[in-house]
Amino acid sequence: MLTSTNAWTTAGVSTVFLDRDGVINEKMPEGKYVSSEDDFRILPGVAEAIAKLNLAGIRVLVVSNQRGVALGVLTAEFVERIHAGLQEQILRRGAHVDGFYFCPHDKQSCSCRKPLPGLFHQAVKDFPDITPEGSVMIGDSLSDIEFGHGVGMRTIWLEGSPDHRKPRWEEAEALADQCYSSLPEAVDALLAGRRLESSASKHA
């Protein structure tokens, strides 16, 4: 676990937003995109971490920038197929994602490219009980952390592989409420804190 100077509480968390590339699956080299099914490799422990969130009754939503669609490298149908394949893989391991949301647009051409809030608002339309106060954003880039803070969510930055860190990662680390090395570590810490706070409130 990386150190963090920002105090927070995990009580009341009902929705976790996850970035995709670098959080769920191996990130491609900077400037490259997951453009074939062979490129999409789920990171170790991710399915089990998502299953733990499912078991705890926490909604899991994936929010991802997929600029490759605007650049003509990918199609929206291909991205959806990758997400369907991800769902199929983790279902076999007792886990599921409740919703996938992605921005297919180029920079400065929409309101849904993170850090802009459009993907959050799309999720709220599908799940009206979502609140910023009850949500956590987990990502590995500055845009993920800015997206989370921009709508009032608590945020977790993932360190990931030093070779695949995104530009301005130092700013993301400093801005995030908490920092961990991987999604499994972040989920374990989140759930442990949630249990402790629940127990404390019962005995208060």
Q: Active-site residue numbers? A: 19, 21
Q: Kindly list the distances between the CA atom of residue 121 and the CA atoms of 16, 49, 134, in Å, as whole numbers in the listed order.
A: 14, 25, 15
Residue 186: closest CA among 65, 17, 41: 17
Residue 45: closest CA among 11, 90, 78, 79: 90
Give the β-pairing of 135-139 and 15-18: parallel
Which residue do the tokens 């650049």 mark?
71
- Size of the chain in residues: 204
Q: How far apart are CA 157 and CA 22, in angstroms?
A: 11
Phi-psi label, residue 137: left if phi above 0, alpha if psi -120 to 50, beta otherwise: beta
Q: How far apart are CA 172 and CA 62, in angstroms?
A: 19
Q: How far apart are CA 147 and CA 14, in angstroms?
A: 18
Task: Give me the amino acid identity at 160.
Answer: G
